[in-house]
Amino acid sequence: MLADNAKTLHIRNLVKRYGSVAAVDDVSFTVERGRFVTLLGPSGSGKTTVLMSIAGFVEPSAGRILIGERDITHLPPEKRNFGMVFQGYALFPHLTVSENVAFPLRVRGIPATDTARRVKRALDMVQLGALGERLPRQLSGGQQQRVALARALVFEPELLLLDEPLSALDKKLRAELQWELKALHQRVGLTFIYVTHDQDEALSMSDEIAILRDGRIVQSGGPGDLYDRPRSRFVADFLGKSNFIAGVVEHADGAGFVYACGGHRFGQVGGGETVGAAALIAIRPEKIRVSQESPGDRTNRVPGRIVTWSFFGADIQFRIRVEGVGELVATHPAWKSAIPLQADSRVWLSWDGDDSIRVAED
């Protein structure tokens, strides 16, 4: 237990200013050993700057970085023993796969016999054991990125830092490598700090996600927790898709409240509301049921008219106009759909009071 605490990474009140702009603005988080933690945020939100500060390539303007009790804020990068993988593979084109992977060991003066054994192990880890003699240009993009990964793992780093490593790959390959990265993480038990702007990537791989916006962490937690309980419009919108209904609280008790919007009244689970206050409600598209008949078993029911739809194979996404509320998006399983795909046809939308959530306006 003590040994594990000694490996915990602490980022405390990290600030990085470029002139008058704070690229990172008071960021704090903790990463326990062996976790897969993702920094997720739009472009320019400060993700790379946080990662580069951890790696030691960016000098923080303020704040501290610690491993256990050890302050590493000003330690040079080569003394940190952290592996890094970037978006570009940055492999040496004239070196073979094995030579590329051996490079960090050569820099560290590891003897040749040891090097061969460790290179083989690292290549096996990323399932490239048979391709050691190839040159990078003889590999696919996914394979090149796996070489980069092996090169980052070969010196047995304490921590692996990954900055959008899959974003140059096409969609299918990216999904495959997401599985592989996750499996690799489970196998090696190494701490991963992963940076991405891709919410699917963050949701599918991480133990924990910290969502960054304008240099600040706006919310962090497990993927399921963040998806089900976003606290703000920004998080509800950035992580997954959301519909928003802006209402006014009409009645409230300890367990829930009724809010009005465009002549409709909807029920919402959750206490602490004030009558007369504005309430912003977020509803995931898959939590709205679409039906032809008015459903009797839901707290909230409202009629609408189909504006348009998109077919995604497994499901259909409807845009449905609700008088007084606006357009709502609802995802409907395609394989059991009886909804006619016809613009302007009338349908019912329904959801329960705990299918939606009250969020803060940004």
Q: Which residues bind Mg ion (CB under 5 A)?
A: 48
| Least distance to ligand ADP, CB of residue 358, Å | 28
Q: Which CB sits closer to Mg ion, 48 or 356? A: 48
Q: Which CB sits closer to ligand ADP, 77 or 270? A: 77
| Least distance to ligand ADP, CB of residue 142, Å | 23
| Least distance to Mg ion, CB of residue 69, Å | 30
- Check binding of 18 to ligand ADP (CB under 6 A): yes
Residue ranges in the chain assigned as alpha helix (H) = 2-5, 47-55, 97-107, 112-125, 141-153, 171-188, 199-205, 223-228, 233-238
Q: Which CB sits closer to ligand ADP, 48 or 115? A: 48
- Check binding of 20 to ligand ADP (CB under 6 A): no
| Least distance to ligand ADP, CB of residue 247, Å | 34
Residues 30-59 that bind ligand ADP (CB under 6 A): 41, 43-49
| Cβ atoms 169, 141 nearer than 8 A | yes
* SS3 state of residue 48: helix
Query: For residue 59, what is the DSSP state?
Result: -
Q: In angstroms, how far is CA 19 from the centroid of its own chain? A: 29
Residues 266-285 that bind ligand ADP (CB under 6 A): none
Q: Which CB sits closer to ligand ADP, 45 or 100? A: 45
Reading the block at residue 19, the tokens are: 């002139």
- Check binding of 206 to ligand ADP (CB under 6 A): no
CB atoms within 10 A of CB 114: 10
For the beta sheet containing 62-67, the strands, ordered from the edge strand earlier in sequence to the opposite edge, are 21-31, 9-18, 62-67, 70-71
Judged by the rule CB under 6 A, the positions of this chain that interact with ligand ADP are 18, 23, 41, 43-49
